[in-house]
Amino acid sequence: MSEQGTSSATRVIIADDHPVVILGARAALDQAGDMLVVGEAADGDLLMALLASRPCDVLVTDFSMPAGRHGDGLQLLDVIRRRYPRLPVAVLTMVNNIGVLRAMQNRGALGLCDKRAPMRELPNAIRSVAAGRAYVSESIREQFARADTPAADGLAPVRLSAREMEVVRLYVGGLSLTQIADRLSRSVKTVSRQKRDAMRKLGIDHDSLLADYAREHGMA
């Protein structure tokens, strides 16, 4: 797949499991005038098929989508980076956990776009990542800044590892520990320990409270 444009328009593939997001993104890009949507996907498998068959200059993808054999979240970003290491990627997300956001960047996401922000910022994000420059929504930049500031009560914020956060996200999304282990290529024992460690760090002793935490942090 060629990752360099052959015309003045920036070719973009959009992946999101919500049709309204796809429509909004396409409208924003059409209005920008210098971008062309060359493909749309509603899950990771469709996305990988598009990337293999349609040249594009930038990928805009949701973080949490219905997962197929390629998974979603950090797992899907790993697959994309491995297969298309030079392809600029901007992630659309409602996640507000700093550990997971930084893990996205470590997996090759040059752009982090808050889904709750006006869609008109998306063309700016695409122009930035297409030029090799990082782009982070203002709301996410504020989260990074707060994470680097000591809490007002002097207590350090709870920090889960990226692997713990991924296990929590998949678990509250309805997968069993066995299914999570299979998807992430880990043992059930390891996944169980990571879930238990996450709950211990959060001071949570019931799965329903874990679901509440995930909703509050945009993971569910």
Listed in order, the ranges of the chain carrying CATH 3.40.50.2300 are 10-147
In CATH, the architecture of 10-147 is 3-Layer(aba) Sandwich (3.40)
Task: Count the Cβ atoms, other than its own, within 10 Å of residue 146.
Answer: 11
Give the Cβ contact number of residue 110 at 10 Å.
Answer: 22
Give me the chain's average pLDDT, please: 86
Phi, psi values for residue 53, rounded to 5°: -120, -15
Among candidates 32, 42, 73, 84, which has minimal Cα distance to 164?
73
Given a cut of 70, the residues of the chain with pLDDT beneath it are 1-7, 148-158, 216-220
| CATH 1.10.10.10 domain residues, the chain | 162-216
User: How many other C-beta atoms can be found within 10 angstroms of the C-beta atom of residue 80?
Assistant: 23
In the CATH scheme, what is the code of domain 162-216? 1.10.10.10
DSSP 63-81: SS----TT-SHHHHHHHHH
pTM exceeding 0.85: no
Supply the pLDDT for residue 174.
87
Strands 109-114 and 35-41: unpaired
pLDDT digits (tens, 9 = 90+) for 174-188: 899 999 999 999 999
